[in-house]
């Protein structure tokens, strides 16, 4: 914020800021004429340099003076100290205030005593970011290479041609947009967030911001993207392996905590689908960081056989309100009231229909038979799962008093599978577990391998299964990280 | 706005286009070649054949293995190969 000493000098004794499109400014036009006759008055007009007629009126349609002097409403009358600095200001029309400020009496004798001010154009939400960029303190220089386009070059096409796009159009990362994006975090632009695989390239907050701009994020999403990048680039989550594998998997981002609401994220109808800007662009920004900073591209290090639409973006919020379960992030150690991302290495979602189970045992058994099929019904212990319980299924567990722990425990119990069903050749299928386990009973999932969240619309007796990728030390494990500022 | 649009580079600016590959060895005779098994199944079959072929060409072979194919080779392993070998072949397939 600027202080009166670092603003540009004000001319004369009094300075008024007005716009024609303000009824109160129109009302005080004769008062400004009275003032101009008696004092040295300069008027800055925000929208019409010919208004008001009479006083020394200057064109401020660029809004530079209005922005520099932090005019929030019009009319605003400033008194100077005669040396160009502001001494006092009156906002709107209030005869007593104007008289006190000017030392004159009987101002605007025909006018009502007071009238409300109108908003200054310089604080209009549409214009303020551009004005801040043009006239404000820009902060430290940005480090990224500047690429100047030719006069006839189309910015959107350029983003495709340079290989920066995931296949969809992107927002051109101009300096103004990147600086506005950086306003979304308290972290310094040059702070290194992570080494991004596969190139293990050091990635600054600035590089994340550039990719977040391209993804279509708003600045307030940036802390979520930063947390997601940090979580993805841990050895535990192993984004390198997740990217390089032939399997169709991607980082799935689950958002918990108050930030879901402040960003307007979707945890309800179509939570895992399209249509919500935060959901869609936060996941996309993470993928663009991996593509552009990490250098991970399909056909290069990304060797997915089929891939998945989830590799464009896969981010949603948990429906904590009315959930039978404690939020996922709290379950994983984040204090209540804080926001966090949980990254799960997952494939595309698939639906489980159960419209008839009204008791938790039946519904758990329904879910279990579907969970067994993840990747292959005869393969066990290799993959985790993220189970998204829909609200109508959640209600069945809630009414029976089942906690998340109760559900997970029951699912594990239901998913103990005789080795004889799993071994290679069983059921006439060559795929399966080695013959050595034929006499054992094996669980489908490792003990921590079932994650449960509550999301979705209020109608539909459905849940959704998101299968995992290779788990354990060689694969990926889910990672939860608190969202900073 | 008559100025040309200026974009900020979203990449790690590695300038790989300007990086020249190292000169290729002129002969295998007397060269020590590292064979890196990335721990994918049956990579050893491929590398065994390659070791035999390289031996016929007069090269000596030293074998290495990544702990897991899912993660980049550890820095120490990369340094060891660079110090001990004049060339390296990586087995990348199942």
Average pLDDT over residues A123-129: 84
- Tell me how close the Cα of A8 comes to any Cα of chain B, in angstroms: 25
Range of the domain at B73: 28-91
Q: Looking at the domain assignment, is residue B22 inside a domain?
A: no
Residue A77, beta-bridge partner list:
A16, A90
| Nearest residue of A to residue B67, measured between CA atoms | A474
ipTM above 0.85, yes or no: no
User: Could you write out the DSSP letters of every residue in A146-210?
Assistant: EEEPPTT--HHHHHHHTT--SSS-----BHHHHHHHHTT-SS-TT-EEEEETTTTEEEEHHHHHH
Q: Where are the domains of chain A?
A: 4-135, 156-482
DSSP designation for B86? S
Give buried/exposed letters for A194-232 (b at 16+ CB in 10 A, else e). Answer: bebbbbbbebbbbbbbbbbbbbbbbbbbbbbbbbbbbbb
* A323 class by beta-carbon count within 10 Å (0-12 exposed, 13-18 middle, 19+ buried): buried
pLDDT at A138: 66
pLDDT at A423 over 70: yes
Q: Is A145 on the interface with B (CB under 8 A)?
A: yes
User: Could you write out the DSSP letters of every residue in B26-42?
Assistant: S--TT-EEEEEE-S-TT
Whether residue B11 and residue A293 make contact (CB cut-off 8 A), yes or no, is yes
pLDDT at B24 over 90: no
CATH superfamily of A4-135: Glutaredoxin (3.40.30.10)
Q: Sort out which chain A residues have CB atoms less than 8 A from B70's CB and list them.
A: 238, 240-241, 244-245, 470, 474-475
Give the pLDDT band (50/70/90) at residue A1.
very low
Q: Looking at the domain assignment, is residue B17 inside a domain?
A: no
Whether residue A240 and residue B70 make contact (CB cut-off 8 A), yes or no, is yes
Whether residue A178 and residue B5 make contact (CB cut-off 8 A), yes or no, is no
Whether residue A470 and residue B70 make contact (CB cut-off 8 A), yes or no, is yes
Q: Looking at the domain assignment, is residue B86 inside a domain?
A: yes
pLDDT at B19: 47
Please answer whether residues A470 and A328 qualify as being in contact, where contact means their C-beta atoms are separated by less than 8 angstroms.
no
Q: What is the pTM of this model?
A: 0.75
- Tell me how close the Cα of A399 comes to any Cα of chain B, in angstroms: 43
**Region of poorest pLDDT, from A48-62, A112-126, A259-273, B10-24:** B10-24
Residue of A199, A212, A215, A297 to mutate for B, most B C-beta atoms under 10 A: A199
Q: Looking at the domain assignment, is residue B8 inside a domain?
A: no
Radius of gyration of chain A (CA): 30
As given in the structure block, the two tokens for residue B43 are 């990579």
Whether residue A174 and residue B8 make contact (CB cut-off 8 A), yes or no, is yes
| Nearest residue of A to residue B3, measured between CA atoms | A151
For chain B, the domain total comes to: 1
pLDDT at A410 over 70: yes
Whether residue B13 and residue A145 make contact (CB cut-off 8 A), yes or no, is yes
pLDDT at B90: 86
Q: Looking at the domain assignment, is residue B1 inside a domain?
A: no
- Tell me how close the Cα of A96 comes to any Cα of chain B, in angstroms: 45
A residues 360..379 contacting B (CB < 8 A): none
Pairwise CA distance, residues A391 & A268, whole Å:
9
Q: Is B6 on the interface with A (CB under 8 A)?
A: yes
Q: Looking at the domain assignment, is residue B16 inside a domain?
A: no
Q: Looking at the domain assignment, is residue B11 inside a domain?
A: no
Pairwise CA distance, residues A12 & A36, whole Å:
11
pLDDT at B16: 45
pLDDT at A228 over 90: yes
Please answer whether residues A471 and A383 qualify as being in contact, where contact means their C-beta atoms are separated by less than 8 angstroms.
yes
Q: Phi and psi at residue B45, in whole multiples of 5°?
A: -60, -45
* A285: three-class secondary structure by DSSP: helix
Q: Looking at the domain assignment, is residue B19 inside a domain?
A: no
Residue of B2, B3, B6, B11 to mutate for A, most A C-beta atoms under 10 A: B11
Whether residue A151 and residue B14 make contact (CB cut-off 8 A), yes or no, is no
């Amino acid at each position: 914020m600027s202080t009166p000493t670092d603003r540009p000098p004000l001319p004369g004794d009094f300075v008024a800021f007005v716009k024609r499109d303000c009824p109160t400014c129109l009302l005080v036009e004769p008062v400004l004429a009275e003032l101009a006759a008696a004092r040295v008055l300069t008027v800055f007009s925000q929208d019409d340099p010919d208004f008001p007629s009479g006083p020394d009126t200057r064109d401020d349609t660029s809004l530079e003076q209005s922005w520099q002097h932090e005019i929030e409403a019009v009319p605003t009358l400033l008194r100077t100290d005669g040396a160009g600095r502001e001494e006092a200001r009156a906002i709107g029309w209030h005869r007593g205030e104007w008289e006190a400020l000017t030392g004159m009496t009987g101002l605007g004798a025909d006018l009502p005593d007071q009238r409300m001010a109108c908003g200054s154009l310089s604080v209009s939400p549409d214009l303020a970011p551009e004005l801040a960029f043009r006239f404000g303190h820009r902060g430290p220089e940005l480090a990224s290479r500047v690429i100047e386009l030719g006069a006839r070059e189309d910015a959107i096409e350029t983003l495709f041609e340079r290989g920066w796009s995931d296949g969809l159009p992107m927002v051109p990362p101009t300096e103004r947009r990147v600086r506005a994006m950086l306003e979304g975090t308290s972290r310094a632009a040059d702070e290194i967030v992570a080494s991004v695989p596969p190139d293990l390239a050091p990635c600054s907050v600035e590089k994340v911001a550039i990719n977040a701009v391209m993804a279509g994020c708003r600045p307030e999403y940036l802390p979520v993207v930063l947390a997601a990048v940090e979580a993805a680039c841990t050895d535990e989550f192993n984004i390198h392996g997740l990217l390089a594998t032939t399997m169709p998997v991607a980082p799935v981002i689950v958002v918990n905590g108050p930030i879901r609401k402040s960003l307007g994220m979707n945890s309800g109808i179509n939570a895992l689908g399209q249509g919500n800007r935060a959901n869609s662009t936060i996941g996309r920004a993470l993928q663009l960081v991996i593509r552009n900073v990490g250098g991970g591209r399909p056909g290069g290090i990304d060797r997915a056989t089929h891939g998945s639409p989830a590799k464009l973006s896969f981010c949603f919020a948990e429906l904590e309100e009315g959930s039978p379960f404690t939020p996922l992030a709290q379950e994983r150690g984040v204090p209540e009231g804080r926001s966090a991302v949980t990254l799960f290495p997952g494939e595309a979602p698939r639906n489980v229909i159960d419209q008839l189970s009204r008791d938790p045992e039946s519904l758990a058994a329904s879910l279990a038979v579907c969970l067994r099929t993840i990747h292959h019904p005869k393969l066990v212990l290799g993959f985790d799962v993220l189970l998204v319980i829909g609200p109508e299924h959640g209600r069945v567990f809630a009414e029976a008093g089942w906690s998340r722990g109760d559900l997970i425990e029951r699912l594990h119990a239901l998913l103990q599978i005789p080795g004889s069903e799993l071994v290679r050749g069983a059921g006439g299928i060559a795929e399966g577990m080695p013959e050595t386990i034929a006499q054992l009973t094996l669980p489908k999932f490792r003990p921590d391998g079932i994650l449960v969240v509550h999301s979705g619309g209020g109608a539909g007796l459905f849940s959704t299964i998101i299968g995992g990728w290779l788990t354990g030390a060689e694969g990926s494990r889910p990672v939860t990280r608190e969202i900073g500022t | 706005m008559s100025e040309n649009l200026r974009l900020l580079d979203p990449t790690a600016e590695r300038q790989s286009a300007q990086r020249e590959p190292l000169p290729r060895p002129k002969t295998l005779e007397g060269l020590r070649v590292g064979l890196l098994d990335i721990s994918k199944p049956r990579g050893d079959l491929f590398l065994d054949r390659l070791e035999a072929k390289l031996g016929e060409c007069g090269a000596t072979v030293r074998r290495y293995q990544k702990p897991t194919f899912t993660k980049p080779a550890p820095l120490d392993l990369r340094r060891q190969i660079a110090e001990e070998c004049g060339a390296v072949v990586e087995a990348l397939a199942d």
